[in-house]
Amino acid sequence: MAMRKIINDPSLVEDQTVAGILAAFPDHLKRVEGSTRALIRADAPVAGKVGIATGGGSGHLPLFLGYVGQGLATGCCVGNVFSSPSAEDMLDVTKAIDSGAGVLYLYGNYSGDTMNFDMASEMAEMEDIIVKTTLGRDDVTSAPNEEMERRRGVAGIVFGFKIAGAAAEEGRDLDSVHAVAEKAVFNTRSMGVALSGTTIPAAGQPGFEVAEGQMELGMGIHGEPGVEIGPLLTADEIAGQMLDRILPDLPFSSGDAAAVLVNSLGATAPEELYILYNKASQILGDRGIKVHRAFIGEYATSMEMSGASISICKLDDELISLLDAPAYSPLLSQQLGR
Amino acid sequence: MAMRKIINDPSLVEDQTVAGILAAFPDHLKRVEGSTRALIRADAPVAGKVGIATGGGSGHLPLFLGYVGQGLATGCCVGNVFSSPSAEDMLDVTKAIDSGAGVLYLYGNYSGDTMNFDMASEMAEMEDIIVKTTLGRDDVTSAPNEEMERRRGVAGIVFGFKIAGAAAEEGRDLDSVHAVAEKAVFNTRSMGVALSGTTIPAAGQPGFEVAEGQMELGMGIHGEPGVEIGPLLTADEIAGQMLDRILPDLPFSSGDAAAVLVNSLGATAPEELYILYNKASQILGDRGIKVHRAFIGEYATSMEMSGASISICKLDDELISLLDAPAYSPLLSQQLGR
Amino acid sequence: MTDEVLGIFKTISEEVVPQADTLRELDAKIGDGDLGITVTRGMEAVIAGLKELEGTPVSNQLARSGMAFNRAAASTFGVLFATAMMRGGAAVKDREDVGASDVAAIGQAAMKGLMDRGKAKIGDKTLLDALAPAIEAFDKANAAGKSLREATGAAVAACETGTTATIEMQSRVSRAGWMGERSIGVQDPGATAVLFMLQAAQSWVNANSEPQTNGGL
Amino acid sequence: MTDEVLGIFKTISEEVVPQADTLRELDAKIGDGDLGITVTRGMEAVIAGLKELEGTPVSNQLARSGMAFNRAAASTFGVLFATAMMRGGAAVKDREDVGASDVAAIGQAAMKGLMDRGKAKIGDKTLLDALAPAIEAFDKANAAGKSLREATGAAVAACETGTTATIEMQSRVSRAGWMGERSIGVQDPGATAVLFMLQAAQSWVNANSEPQTNGGL
Ligand SMILES: Nc1ncnc2c1ncn2[C@@H]1O[C@H](COP(=O)(O)OP(=O)(O)O)[C@@H](O)[C@H]1O
Ligand SMILES: Nc1ncnc2c1ncn2[C@@H]1O[C@H](COP(=O)(O)OP(=O)(O)O)[C@@H](O)[C@H]1O
Ligand SMILES: [Mg+2]
Ligand SMILES: [Mg+2]
Ligand SMILES: [Mg+2]
Ligand SMILES: [Mg+2]
């Protein structure tokens, strides 16, 4: 079983990752007592403020643990690689971050996560904690526009964390934080392309393969298939195809302001992301869409998967001010505030 | 010619990367007129302050362009992938960033770079610009301790940028900035391990291969061979072997304060870096070495190479205050200031 | 039937974990490839918790085992397994004596729980398509006075048919739903896991019950 | 000899670029694998600049071509190529008329420049080990009154021997120096590039000079 991975026992990958994060940033994060997989801001619960809980499978760093911080999410739990955390861990996080102002669940639309978060929110309600939920469902290739509620979440949820996190930090109430999270998530559309699969450590062999010289257009971050598999196109062609699907979907129109996120799925180098962005920014310019801010780097990965995604979030004045508010996490690819 | 890369014409990778960076961060960086490969801080030359110029091959982002910013380097030029920039570009950067306070050249010890920077400094002197040079030579596996001047630079140069950059920002003179850069570089030791090679786009095929299940201990960031090739060890064993070579080399002793950088060469996932750090921090703790601060992420890469390095910088009070000073670049894996 | 539940879980672990790779492969084809790991880690956690469940009511054994599974291997399958066990257990809550005829009630409660939690319908290419016919066949056999062994055999046979039928279905929910037509042609991994579990339960029944007797075990 | 320099560069480009892959392979073995690209991009830049150098002094043609090479393909080889051309050019500075007998002076000045810039010694397994014997052989033949064609032939032969000798050497400098003993057994890529260039120069000489005449071309 040969994998190109620097790990110990494959079944310890998740716990040792969490332990390493805690060892690296002890002033920033703390563990929820009794759980190896649930971490919260060192200063949580934050008095008077809405808590934001997120979570999902391991293997996506800096998603999800990297988005816990000031002006971002308040707490998080992670499951095994590419698997949901448990409802029990979610409940533990919920209780640990609730200051009485209620908790927003903000995570990606995957059945394991939704079913576990739903179970957690039922349990939280029994303990008198008010919970609202916002689902990231930005991947335009995962279902047609009319079936948006089936779409999966990919890197675009980053805008949700930033915007909802800033709203919570401002001291808004749960309804208001939830409303702006919904707006951020709704205004965001993404598409990815994968040039290779990835290997779950405990499985030891790639769950998915993409032959060299091929690419999967629209592949999800766990290797879920996309719209088509075909020969690897040039960066300019890829950027073009992505924007051709993303822009009409909301739609984004001339005069709109937008934030753009070019994300590496893991192995794809920063150089390639800038080459993609170079073309994307030209296309957006040609269409009259103004880039308020660009984020380029690793924001949501699939371990060593090769590939990239582009996410675009349409901004209004409220979203701009929340996007530009300060935020801090030592795990992030690029600080999200100014 | 199948590569898992999102690019256009392979011969345009470098120029389109630079163009993408400029498109993404126009408020942060500007181009030196007449050069496609030379970028400087948007506010350079910074009146009254020493300029810091760096440079090296393309293919290492965020190295080198990512380290241009407030509290970091002032200007940079990049060459083709894994090749030096030209003396002429370096001269252009030097002239563009010199405010009259002189310029520090801070870059890694590779012959193409040293010969070109030397030629540039000769030309700069003819134009009455005072230049001093500090070379990153942190890789302990590249030559024995007695032949330190032959050692190559790897990710440890990040500490040099942060510390010299903060000193220049404080308004110190060239001699003082140079002295503290020398101290930072001298106090830093690194070692890397590679699990795969990487493909120079214009070459189209990997220059180096590491068979799956094998690793090269001490491999350099262009695939320069290290101390030995052998079976892939566990993360804990790798961390142990790295620290066994790094710690005695300076040496680092009980009671020392240190900054630790765990760097991905590209494809290696953040999860694996945290697993490495988890063990490294235990070993350092056992040896009585106090980690003042940990940096974990992509700081110096080789495109899609799989592997990681650990760099450790011994800190005194002066270095601690410079390391903790604010700094900003939108390309960085983790903001280097607080 | 008190510690019989524990015996069945042990047999499931012994017989299903060795088939984890088949589940991994199927899930890799139309899901994300983790179902083999999920079942392995989940059943390990169930087994690790059995000792302290000895002698406790069946409802507690079921619920606690389900939660242990999902805590160790949370996922769609994990939370559904937990839900089925919790709801199934609730159907015999506070009952000291649970017999073969209660299995029908447990199964129906579990089914209802799964449908509440997952919001999928029969025919959506999920584990429901394996479990629903199995429960129905068991009920029918049980109502007709068949032995536990016979009823279990009927359930497993119906489960096999249901599982095989998922091959031709197009997934409409969750991960495989994103594949659209590309999901046709692959047997649903979750349905397959349910089939393996019921087959293991059948092994236990055959080894531990009289061929002809109905009622107690 | 004025635009003869340009002719030689053209021939070098034509004959060496097709061998770039050999250089890439050698450099991949004991360096970083970029030398094939370096020579290709560098010579392309030289050729692109030739037009505007037509009719200018040899010293300018050499220096400007060297700088164009390094600007397009800066690297150890690039800066050394530039240094050799600049220093070689300086040896015939402001001279309108450069003949075959000046080639010796150009070569010696280039050698000196390379040693100043790279600080390597003969025997360190670098391009110096190919170039030094070639220049020496050329000088000797030239001093003995041989024709340009004969002197060039002697230089190329010496260069071949020198290049082959690098196989058994252990690198002591730069990138290959880090390999220590593992550098033994591979022919030095930079030396090989120099050999290919001199072989191309020889092709040009053979096509453009009289077999027996010394002096002008
Ligand atoms: N909504 C649903 N209701 C019932 N079963 C479902 C539902 N969605 C998926 N499943 C079942 O779960 C199986 C996949 O389980 P698992 O691998 O744990 O999913 P994931 O990895 O996506 O969390 C599917 O094969 C299917 O049988
Ligand atoms: N110090 C030196 N002096 C002279 N030649 C050198 C020196 N160092 C390296 N070389 C030559 O340069 C060649 C490598 O060139 P190149 O591929 O451009 O190097 P790099 O990629 O390391 O910048 C070597 O094969 C050797 O012939
Ligand atoms: Mg999963
Ligand atoms: Mg090179
Ligand atoms: Mg799965
Ligand atoms: Mg080279």
In this predicted structure, what is the pLDDT of residue D2? Answer: 59
Residue B336: pLDDT above 90?
no
DSSP per residue, B5-49: ---SSGGGHHHHHHHHHHHH-TTTEEEPTT-SSEEEETT-S-TTS
Is the CB of residue B70 less than 8 Å from the CB of residue B14?
A: no
Ligand 3 center from residue B213 Cα (angstroms): 26
Instruction: Write out chain C residues lying below 8 Å of A87, CB-based.
Output: 70, 74, 79, 82
Amino acid at A178: H
Q: Tally the residues of chain C.
A: 217
Tokens representing residue C169 in the block:
């279905």
- A223: pLDDT confidence band, cut at 50, 70 and 90? confident
C51 Cβ neighbours under 8 A, 6+ residues apart: none
User: Can you give the pLDDT at residue A203?
Assistant: 83
Average pLDDT over residues D114-124: 97
Residue A294 tokens read as: 């660009």
Q: Is the pLDDT confidence value at D211 over 90?
A: no
Q: Which helix (H) or strand (E) holds D38?
A: helix D35-50
End-to-end distance of chain D based on CA atoms, in angstroms? 7
Q: Is residue D217 part of a domain?
A: no
Ligand 1 midpoint to CA C102 (Å): 27
Q: What is the pLDDT of residues B161-194, one digit of tens each?
A: 999 999 999 999 999 999 999 999 999 999 999 9
Q: Residues B92-113: pLDDT tens digits?
A: 999 999 999 999 999 999 999 9
Q: Which two tokens stand for residue A36?
A: 């190896």
CA–CA separation, A193 and B80 (whole Å): 26
* Helices first, then strands: H and E counts in chain A: 8, 12
Cα torsion angle, A24, B332, B14, A287, sign: positive
**CA-to-CA separations, C137 to C133, C140, C156, in angstroms, rounded:** 6, 5, 9
Q: Which residues of C touch A (CB under 8 A)?
A: 24, 27-28, 31-34, 36-38, 41, 67, 70-80, 82-83, 117-118, 173-175, 177-179, 182
Q: Residue C101 corresponds to which amino acid?
A: S
Residue D129 maps to a domain: yes
DSSP secondary structure code for residue A258 in this structure: E
Please indicate, yes or no, if residue C77 is contained in any of the structural domains: yes
Determine the pLDDT at residue A226.
78
Is C217 among the domain residues? no
- For residue D215, is pLDDT > 80? no
A333 pLDDT above the threshold of 90: no
Q: Is residue A338 within 8 Å of A324, Cβ to Cβ?
A: yes
pLDDT per position as a tens digit, C98-139: 887 899 899 999 999 999 999 999 999 999 999 999 999 999
d(CA D73, CA D43): 9
Q: Whose CA is nearest to atom 2 of ligand 2?
A: D118
Q: Is the residue at D214 inside a domain?
A: no
Residues of B with a catalytic annotation lie at 60, 222
Host domain of residue D21? 4-208
Whether D196 is in a domain gets the answer yes
Mean pLDDT taken over chain B: 94
> Of the candidates A256, A199, A265, which has an alpha carbon nearest to the alpha carbon of residue A238?
A265
CA of B119 to the centre of ligand 6 (A): 19
For the segment D70-98, the average pLDDT, to the nearest whole number, is: 93
pLDDT tens digits, B12-57: 999 999 999 999 999 999 999 999 999 999 999 999 999 999 999 9
Contacts with D, B 8-37, CB within 8 Å: 11
In angstroms, the Cα distances linking D98 to B156, D103, D109, D143 are 50, 8, 15, 17
Under 8 Å between Cβ of D174 and D108: no
Q: What are C46's two structure tokens? A: 């169930």
**What is the pLDDT at residue C2?**
59
Contact, B311 vs B323, CB < 8 A? no
- Higher pLDDT, residue A135 or A222: A135
Say what the pLDDT of residue C213 is: 52
Contacts of C144 (CB under 8 A, 6+ apart): none
Average per-residue pLDDT for chain A: 94
Instruction: Round to whole Å and give the CA distance between C171 and C167.
Output: 10
Tokens of C189: 């991994």
Residue A338 has pLDDT above 90, yes or no: no
Q: Backbone dihedral region of D98: left (phi > 0), alpha (psi from -120 to 50 degrees) or beta?
A: beta
pLDDT at D33: 85
Dist. CA B330–CA B338, nearest whole Å: 15
ipTM: 0.91
CB-CB neighbors (< 8 A) of B16 in chain A: 235, 274-275, 278
Measured between beta carbons, which residues in chain B are less than 8 angstroms from residue A204? none
Cβ-nearest to A88 among C24, C67, C77: C67
Which residues of B109-166 form beta strands (DSSP E)? Answer: 131-136
Total domain count for chain D?
1
DSSP 8-state code for residue A187: T
Chain D interface includes B81 (CB < 8 A): yes
pLDDT for the residue numbered D212? 59
On whether residue C132 sits in a domain, the answer given is yes
Tell me how far the alpha carbon of residue D42 is from its chain's centroid. Answer: 13
pLDDT one-digit tens code per residue, B208-265: 789 999 999 998 888 787 788 999 999 999 999 999 999 999 999 999 999 999 999 9
Q: How far is it, in rounded angstroms, from Cα A51 to Cα B259?
A: 33
Percent of chain B whose predicted confidence (pLDDT) is above 70 = 98
Domain-located, residue D47: yes
* Residues in a beta bridge with B194: B216, B307
* Res A334: pLDDT: 47
Q: What is the CATH number of the domain that holds C128?
A: 1.25.40.340
- Do A and C touch, counting CB pairs below 8 Å (3 needed)? yes
Could you tell me which residues are beta bridge partners of residue A312? A189, A260
Q: What is the mean pLDDT of residues D66-90?
A: 96
Residues 6+ apart with CB under 8 A from A331: A21, A25, A61, A62, A65, A66, B270, B296, B297, B334
Whether A337 shows a pLDDT value over 70: the answer reads: no
The CB-side HSE value for A181 (13 A sphere, CA atoms) comes to: 35
Ligand 2 pocket residue status of B114, Cβ below 6 Å: no
Q: Which residue has the tokens 């770039």?
A: D20
Under an 8 A CB cutoff, do B203 and D182 touch?
Answer: no
Q: Which of D32, D71, D174 sits opposite B82 (nearest CB)?
A: D32
Ligand whose nearest atom lies closest to the CA of D125: 2
In this predicted model, what pLDDT tens digit does every residue of A165-217 receive, in sequence order?
999 999 999 999 999 999 999 999 999 999 999 998 988 888 778 999 999 99
With H, G, I as helix, E, B as strand and everything else as coil, classify residue A61.
coil
CB pairs under 8 A between A and B: 189
Q: Which residue ranges in chain C fall short of pLDDT 50?
A: 1, 214-217
Residue C95 is predicted with a pLDDT of: 85
